[in-house]
């Protein structure tokens, strides 16, 4: 009987540990970093930033540069950028929801 109890408790502790480590926020943060890392394999971010500083028209020039840079890239870069923005926005939503729960006094909540 004691062995069975130990086996069951080991499984319960393992499941608890996995749920604590791999919760939704952690997975989304890891996914944002993974997508951003993949973007750097397709795009020279250093050169994009250097070309961005050459625009002297203020906000409208920066917007036009970024828009044309995104439109004229490969499809894979566009998909990676869209995925990064989507996951980052979902992560931001989760962080705001968690903040609201903390402010209401419900500290231990799974989002």
The chain-wide mean pLDDT, for the chain, equals 85
Interval 7-20 mean pLDDT: 88
107: pLDDT strictly greater than 60:
no
In a domain, 69, yes or no: yes
The CA-to-CA distance between both ends of the chain, in Å, stands at: 37
111: pLDDT strictly greater than 60:
no
In a domain, 1, yes or no: no
Task: Report the distance separating Cα 71 and Cα 86, nearest Å.
Answer: 18
In a domain, 11, yes or no: no
Give the pLDDT confidence of 47-78 residue by residue, as tens digits: 888 888 876 777 888 888 888 888 988 999 99
In a domain, 33, yes or no: yes
Q: What is the pTM of this model?
A: 0.67
| Structural domain total, the chain | 1
Interval 5-20 mean pLDDT: 89
Q: Which of 32-36, 53-57, 73-77, 105-109 is the least confident region?
A: 105-109
In a domain, 5, yes or no: no
DSSP for the chain reads -HHHHHHHHHHHHHHHHHHHHT-HHHHHHHHHHHHHHHHHHHS-HHHHHHHHTT--SHHHHHHHHHHHHHHTS-HHHHHHHHHHHHHHHHHHHHHHHHHHHHHTT--S---
Give the pLDDT confidence of 88-101 residue by residue, as tens digits: 999 999 888 888 77
pLDDT score for 26: 85
In a domain, 27, yes or no: yes
pLDDT score for 90: 93
Task: Report the distance separating Cα 78 and Cα 38, nearest Å.
Answer: 12
pLDDT score for 17: 87
Chain centre to alpha carbon of residue 23 = 13
What is the span of the domain harbouring residue 51? 23-103
In a domain, 39, yes or no: yes
In a domain, 90, yes or no: yes
């Amino acid at each position: 009987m004691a062995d069975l109890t130990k086996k069951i408790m080991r499984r319960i502790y393992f499941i608890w540990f996995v749920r604590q480590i791999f919760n939704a926020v952690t997975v989304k943060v890891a996914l944002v970093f993974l997508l951003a890392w993949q973007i750097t394999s397709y795009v020279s971010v250093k050169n994009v930033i250097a070309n961005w500083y050459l625009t002297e028209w203020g906000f409208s020039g920066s917007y036009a540069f970024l828009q044309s840079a995104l439109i004229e890239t490969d499809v894979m870069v566009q998909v990676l950028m869209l995925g990064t923005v989507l996951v980052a926005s979902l992560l931001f939503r989760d962080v705001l929801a968690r903040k609201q729960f903390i402010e209401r006094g419900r500290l231990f909540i799974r989002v």
